[in-house]
Each structure stands twice: as structure tokens, then as C-alpha cells.
């Protein structure tokens, strides 16, 4: 134990000596000019401090990122049909002949033109779209059998606002996010109330 304490004291003495010597070390001030020329100084913005410049560039970075984000979202939305709100009809009805504006009565006999529906991209699992409505018609054209419309779009409609009729099925109310299966090959009729 005594030996260990002696060692520790000797180490401390040695450490103090080294520390004292190292504290005296410095560089020749004449070299400062040489190395200063190699340094790139932080550039302040016009009339501002260095920090203001840093903050300003930081702000500009995020502002530009925000613009890119907004543009991207806008482009994405432009390329994708908007999801219909459950509080509003999926489609705006065209006015009946002789009317300036469509009203609810027009929708009573409105039909969706199935062949006019935008088709889902091959491999797409779902497509939501605003559906065009045509004036009352007894029958809608069938989708040509060789058309990719054999893969009918998936349609989301507000509850109680639409009924889908297929040639081979019984009409019934559609719930939101009701899916018309891809295997449906015939025309789709959506009648609005």
C-alpha cells in the first residue's frame, strides 16, 4: 500500500511537470498570417451578422424545401383524382336540358357513362375518380370486350347517395369505399338520387 502511494505521488509529480511544460507550448505568432490565408472565413449576409447569415441561409434552405414540397404535392394531386368527400356527391351533375344549373332532381335519373370512366392503370389496386354523369338514358354502351376497361375502376361513393346497377345484379346502396370488382366486365350504371 505504501509503495502504491509512493508511485501515485511520483506520477502526480511527473504529471504536474509535463503539464507545466506543455502549457508553455505555443506557436510562433509569425506563422499566423500564413495559416490565416488558408482559412475560409464565414461570410455574413449583406448588413447582417455571421449568425444572421447562417440563419438566413438555413431559412432559405427550408423555404426552398417547402416550395419543392408544395409543388410536389400539387403535381401529385394533379396526377391523382381527388378522393370524394362523404359529405358531398362524388360528381357534379350537368344540368338537364333547358336548365341553367343542375339540382337534385336532375340526379334522380343521372347515369354514369361507364365507358367514359377513367381506367385504372395496369396493376393499380385502386382508382378513385370523379364520375361523369350523362343525361337520362335507357341504356349505356357496353365496354368493348377487348378494352382494358374490362378492368373497371374502383369507385368510392358516399353512402346512400348512389346505387350501382349491373346488368346482372340487383341494385343496392353503396357504402363508402365500395369496390366494384375487377372481374365485372359489363357496364356499370350509377344512378344518383
Partner 1 sequence: MEQRLENIIQGCIGGNPSSQKMLYNYCFEQMMGVCLRYHHNMDDAAASYNEAMYKVLAKIDQYRQEGEFLGWVRRIVVNTCLNAVRHAARYSSVLPPENEAENIHISPEAYSQLNHKEVLRLVQELPAASALVFNLYIMEGYTHEQIAGQLGIAPGTSKWHLNHARNVLKEKIKCMQRDESVKNA
CA distance 146 to 96: 33
CA distance 185 to 169: 12
Contact between 100 and partner 1 by CB under 8 A: the answer reads no
Instruction: Output the smallest distance, CB 31 to partner 1, in A.
Output: 8
Q: Can you tell me which of 2, 40, 87, 139 binds partner 1, judged by CB under 8 A?
A: 40
Decide whether 4 or 170 has the Cβ nearer to partner 1: 4
Q: Can you tell me which of 49, 85, 159, 160 binds partner 1, judged by CB under 8 A?
A: 49
Contact between 57 and partner 1 by CB under 8 A: the answer reads no
Instruction: Output the smallest distance, CB 22 to partner 1, in A.
Output: 6
Provide the binding-site residues for partner 1, judged by CB under 8 A.
3-4, 7, 10-11, 13-15, 17-19, 21-29, 31-33, 35-36, 38-44, 48-51, 53-54
Amino acid at each position: 500500500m505504501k509503495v502504491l502511494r509512493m508511485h501515485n505521488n511520483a506520477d502526480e509529480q511527473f504529471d504536474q511537470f509535463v503539464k507545466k511544460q506543455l502549457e508553455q507550448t505555443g506557436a510562433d505568432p509569425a506563422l499566423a498570417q500564413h495559416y490565416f490565408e488558408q482559412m475560409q472565413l464565414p461570410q455574413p449576409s449583406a448588413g447582417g451578422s455571421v449568425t444572421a447569415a447562417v440563419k438566413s441561409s438555413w431559412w432559405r434552405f427550408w423555404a426552398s424545401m417547402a416550395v419543392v414540397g408544395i409543388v410536389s404535392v400539387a403535381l401529385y394531386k394533379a396526377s391523382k383524382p381527388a378522393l370524394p368527400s362523404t359529405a358531398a356527391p362524388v360528381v357534379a351533375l350537368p344540368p338537364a336540358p333547358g336548365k341553367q344549373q343542375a339540382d337534385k332532381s336532375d340526379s334522380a335519373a343521372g347515369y354514369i357513362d361507364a365507358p367514359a370512366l377513367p381506367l385504372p392503370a395496369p396493376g393499380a389496386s385502386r382508382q378513385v375518380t370523379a364520375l361523369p354523369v350523362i343525361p337520362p338514358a335507357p341504356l349505356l354502351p357496353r365496354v368493348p370486350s377487348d378494352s382494358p376497361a374490362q378492368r373497371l375502376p374502383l369507385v368510392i361513393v358516399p353512402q346512400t347517395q348512389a346505387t350501382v346497377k349491373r346488368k346482372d345484379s340487383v341494385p343496392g346502396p353503396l357504402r363508402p369505399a365500395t369496390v366494384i370488382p375487377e372481374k365485372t366486365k359489363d357496364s356499370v350504371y350509377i344512378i344518383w338520387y
